[in-house]
Amino acid sequence: MKYYLAPLEGITTYIYRRAYHTHYRPMEKYFTPFLVPHTKKDFNTREKNDILPEHNPDMYLVPQILANDAKGFLDTVEKLKMYGYDEVNLNLGCPSKTVVSKGRGSGFLIYTEKLERFLDEIYAKADVKISIKTRIGKYDADEWGQLLDIYNKYPVEELIVHPRVQQQFYKGHPDLDAFADAVKECRHPLCYNGDIFTVEDMERLKKRFPEISCVMLGRGILRNPELTDIIESGGGRIDVKKLRAFHDQIFQDYQEVSSGDKNVLFKMKELWCYLGTLFPDKEKQLKKIRKAEKLDRYEAAVEEILYF
């Protein structure tokens, strides 16, 4: 099975990716949180830091672009080529209301004629590989058949499918019947994305879709960075020593690039929103992390959880 790390805005930045790649089973591909086209000649500092090859050593990184105009997409591709990238990913999956309200991400899916014109132009003019990450519609899974027909018209490098509609956000369950349609009809390499949190989740997916050989993991990895190792071995306990080394690298790196305790703690508390699910019996200590306003208080709370 091939594993990809999903792009999660503000979380799976180069700091997270680098620590993950150092301490855990390397992913076959990593995807950046989305880049939005702008008119500047180069990327801004935050964007540049995230895509610099030296910040992403020894990993296959695919920049993701969030766009609904072909010129902006193509301009961004040209900038990325200057950094050595020959594959990009088109974001047609983001369910955020601020993104969807502008007709981007999964908000683009409802405008099928405009979407086709957009794809016509980018696939005709871009001299890089373009994969697509998509949901199955905006309002209803009935939209999925038409979207699949559209994707099948283009030389899509890979189709990554999160089988929910935009309106669901992350609620309910992935629509595996809709994904079955993709398995049957899609003419491109296919990757599954959505609600893989445990060995049992993966086993259910493999049982229904034995032909699937690629899975993108997002929230599951954030909750348990050891997830792919556990899946591949069929189970096992969390290696707290490894988790501590992973955490400490992220913590140290954020201190080096962020100014002030508040900014570092914001990032680390966001991470613990996911990691905390590994420690259901440590609610007292997790509460201390959430309430910490100084780094020393935060470190003391972490020590109570990640001791070995």
- Residue 18 DSSP SS3: helix
Q: Strands of 214-217's sheet, edge to edge?
A: 61-62, 29-31, 2-5, 214-217, 190-193, 159-162, 129-135, 87-92, 64-65
Whether 297 has a binding-site annotation, put simply, is no
CA neighbor of 168 nearest in space, from 200, 132, 194, 197: 194
Report CA dihedral (20, 22, 23, 25) to the nearest 10 degrees. Answer: 80
Whether 46 has a binding-site annotation, put simply, is no
CA neighbor of 219 nearest in space, from 195, 251, 191, 244: 195
Q: Give dist(CA 18, CA 116) in Å, integer.
A: 36
191 is catalytic: no
Whether 173 has a binding-site annotation, put simply, is no
Whether 133 has a binding-site annotation, put simply, is yes
- 8 A C-beta contact, residue 70 and residue 122: yes
The residues pairing with 64 across neighbouring beta strands, listed in sequence order, are 89
Whether 218 has a binding-site annotation, put simply, is yes
- 8 A C-beta contact, residue 138 and residue 107: yes
HSE-CB of 21 using CA atoms within 13 angstroms? 21
Fill in the amino acid letter for 214.
C
With both helix axes pointing from N to C terminus, report the angle between 261-275 and 295-305 in degrees, rounded to the nearest 10: 20
Binding residues for FMN: 64, 133, 162, 218-219
Binding residues: 64, 133, 162, 218-219
Name the residues annotated as catalytic.
94
